[in-house]
Structure 1
């Protein structure tokens, strides 16, 4: 893995980026090359769209489509919605994990949740984000997928048919639909039981698609939660209790295995079956040996938590809010984020 840090001379945010890269590497030893960029021609040649820019194996994992080469200061939005002069530690951990996964696999990395690092937040255009967020709020309130009739008013402002919006979201793997067009899953939630049970602080119970999805839910909703799952090898219970943003794991040796079955397809089909909690690295390795159709590895608790936060933490903070529909699902997460964010 090759890491390059592009900055203008005396960039005030360069020390912070270097510190966070060191923390994200967590004992790994790739060297970080520092390159000072002095003009826009050099910035264009190297791929710098503001200072600082981090390149991993020559690619900017935080690139914004259409951003021009620049020697001005660059700002980054962290998973909790804050704007900073450096990528967050969670986002750096995710980017470096993706790069390492790519070295270990013939497939482009799925980034532990599909979409090859493109993120789980639907675009605003065509009413996609408003619909995605309305669906997630319904899951957060009821533990179940909303009925199509409950979503008609969300579709109205876009001027598009509800079925078209849902089909677009499914085509881009923001959700999955059954043969009747009903919502089967909207990452991180599942409409049907899975191995990963969520118990939210207000009493709502829901299912997560996979271990990483489950770990992202408390931050996404700004709430305390208890996650319960089972080691697929031993059947022993794994419990993760999230209180005030801090997670406590039982047993303390628990890990998460992150893998995928093939290079293409919805994450629900090719990755979620491998994204599991295990009581220890030993049982994770045992499972991997029994499932050679999946490629991946076990990651520790810190990295698993960071992946969950970085993939799902901002899904309901970067809003194009859905209009109130009379459904209580539309108000819960605003209330929670008001409490959590201040």
Structure 2
């Protein structure tokens, strides 16, 4: 993750932001912050500085509001603006950057979940995903052969490449263990696809990615691993309704070593509320987690899995 702070020379608010970022990023040696002085309006326009200071995350302003334009004046951060500083609070920074930390983990260090087109990998990956979405099962040998045929490669070879890069995971018997977002065996995350089968998702974020990936209504049924409380998320016409409304998702923001099915999936869960998620996290100190609200979690699912069955 790349963070860039744009500020006018000697901006006092920049120092406030520096201190708050230091608190939020404590212990994260994998994040570097670049500081850049902006002196002219044309440069502010070119860099996207909507007031001083402006924080960019991977080149994008996550705090941008509709109607804001490039400016050299002091930045205003909406309802959190107060008499002390026009800088996001530590809590707001932690929530916003936490979403990006989670996205970075799930996006596998920037490689994403969309397999490369070369060597038939994307075609075979999509054949796998469509088999689950249509039939609720892994693809047959014939379905895999049809997908790999245009590339003149044995399906087993393409699957091995996909597994090596963790786009899916094969077991020792050569069968599919994980086809993110789908699981070939029951999990706690059950998903009913409108007009289609019942499937299981590898984790909470995977479950949230199925509706945008397919462009169809789905209903997710899961359970809070701390207290066993039932949780449902129903997607209808692109909008999601969570029950209970207080439900959240806890995601691991630590680096996953090895296939996600073994290293990460068990730590990406739905919880009935933030308190339950934090209690569960306290019982699992080996997991460095971030609590995401419904909209953040939905965005993460959409960005991670939405592109997988696109035309490109």
Q: Is residue 3 from structure 1 mapped to residue 7 from structure 2 by the alignment?
A: no
Q: Relative to structure 2, which stretch is displaced further, 144-153 or 187-196? A: 144-153
> Are 1:223 and 2:224 an aligned pair?
no
Map 1:57-72; keep pairs closer than 5 Å. none
User: Within 2, Cα distance between the matches of 1:234 and 1:160?
Assistant: 48
Is residue 234 of structure 1 aligned with residue 227 of structure 2? yes
Q: Distance in 2 between matches of 1:265 and 1:150?
A: 28
- Describe how 1:83-98 pairs up with structure 2 within 5 A: 96-97=97-98
Change in Cα spacing, 1:116 to 1:298, as seen in structure 2 (3 Å) is same
Give SS of 2:308's match: coil
1:294 aligns to 2:295 (yes or no): no
Aligned to 2:170: 177
* 2:151 aligned partner: 158
Partner of 1:269: 262
Task: Give runs of aligned pairs for residues 112-123 of structure 1, distance below 5 A.
Answer: 112-123=105-116
* Residues in 2 aligned to 1:158 and 1:31: alpha-carbon distance in whole angstroms: 44
Q: Does 1:198 pair with 2:198?
A: no
- TM-score, normalised to structure 2, is 0.70
Does residue 305 of structure 2 align to residue 315 of structure 1? no
SS in 1 for 2:301: helix
Long gaps (5+) in structure 1: 6-27, 43-49, 62-93, 102-108, 320-342
Shift of 1:117: 3.0
Give distance in 2, aligned partners of 1:114 and 1:315: 12
SS in 1 for 2:251: strand
Structure 1 residue 111 and structure 2 residue 121: aligned? no
Shift of 1:263: 4.0
**Under a length normalisation based on structure 1, what TM-score does the superposition of the two structures give?**
0.64
Q: CA deviation at 1:283?
A: 0.7
**Partners of 1:3 and 1:55 within 8 A in 2:** yes
Contact 2:103–2:304 (CA under 8 A) maintained in structure 1: no
SS class of match (1:234): coil
| Structure 2 counterpart of 1:133 | 126
Distance between the aligned counterparts of 1:318 and 1:34, measured in 2? 41
Taking the aligned partners of 1:110 and 1:122, their CA distance within structure 2 comes to 17
Q: Which runs of 5+ in 2 are unaligned?
A: 7-23, 25-32, 61-94
Q: Is the 8 A contact 1:113 1:213 kept in 2?
A: no
Q: Distance in 2 between the 1:185 and 1:36 partners?
A: 51
Distance 1:236 1:33 in 2: 48
Contact 1:261/1:270 (<8 A) preserved: no
* Shift in CA distance, 202/112, structure 1 to aligned 2, threshold 3 Å: farther
